[in-house]
Amino acid sequence: MLMDLAVTILGALIFLFLFWKRLKEDYAGEIIFKSATYILVGIGAGWALSLKFFPDWFFWTSVTAGLIGFAFAILRFRLKFYETLEAFIISPLPWLGLVFLKDSGVHSSFSSFLAFIAILIMVFLSYYFGTHYKRFTWYKSGKIGFAGLAVAVVFFLSRAAIAMSKVTMLSFVGRSEVIISGIMAVTGILLLFNLGKVKE
């Protein structure tokens, strides 16, 4: 219990810092932290709901409820969609990595440790994409948001591919994982395509 609490507090603090860091140039700190609070409350509510009714779905209930908090913040504060979405995607990655790392230690789970390594790779990719996306000649619009969406696509495609191999892993929900992660990956690709378009 203490380990879970420590991971939750540390993960939430890292999320708040990264979310603020990515949006601080465009919005006042009060707006950023209120928006982050809506998202965190959503994630917490989704997590609590899953623990009571369907523990295997904790990842997806947390993501769904977090997205509801994200949508509420967008509408209330009129935030820029793609920039805020990028912050929403990238900021929780270290938190998720901590969850996998904790599980790998507590339950001696090799698959959770591999998932932790995968999250570290996603964090590196987010940094790489975030600093190099304007150099990609095929990404003609040069708009902010590429890094977050690209990482999301890689993340969900990876989840779908691993789930197809029938590997049991924390946060996976059986065969449904392939479908849900696949839909999320396709959605990310469509959003990325729309973001990359140059208006004539």
Q: Pull the structure tokens for residue 34.
A: 């209120």
pLDDT at 56: 81
pLDDT of residue 200: 41
d(CA 26, CA 86) in angstroms, rounded, equals 14
Domain ranges of the chain: 2-196
pLDDT, residue 167, reads 67
List the alpha helices (DSSP H) in the chain: 2-23, 29-53, 58-77, 81-90, 93-106, 110-132, 146-164, 176-196
AA letter at 128? Y
Q: Rounded to an integer, what distance in angstroms lies between the CA atom of residue 144 and that of residue 64?
A: 23
- Determine the Cα–Cα distance for residues 100 and 97; give it in Å rounded to an integer: 5
d(CA 78, CA 106): 42
**Residues 155, 170, 68, 16, CA torsion sign:** negative
Residue 94 CA to residue 25 CA, distance in Å, equals 22
Q: What is the pLDDT of residues 179-193, one digit of tens each?
A: 999 999 999 999 998
pLDDT in tens, 20-46: 999 999 999 999 999 999 999 999 999
Judge if pTM exceeds 0.85: yes
Rounded-to-integer distance, Cα 187 and Cα 200, Å = 24
**pLDDT score for 170:** 63
* Amino acid 152: pLDDT: 96
Please list the ranges in the chain whose pLDDT falls under 70: 166-171, 198-200
Residue 171: predicted pLDDT: 67
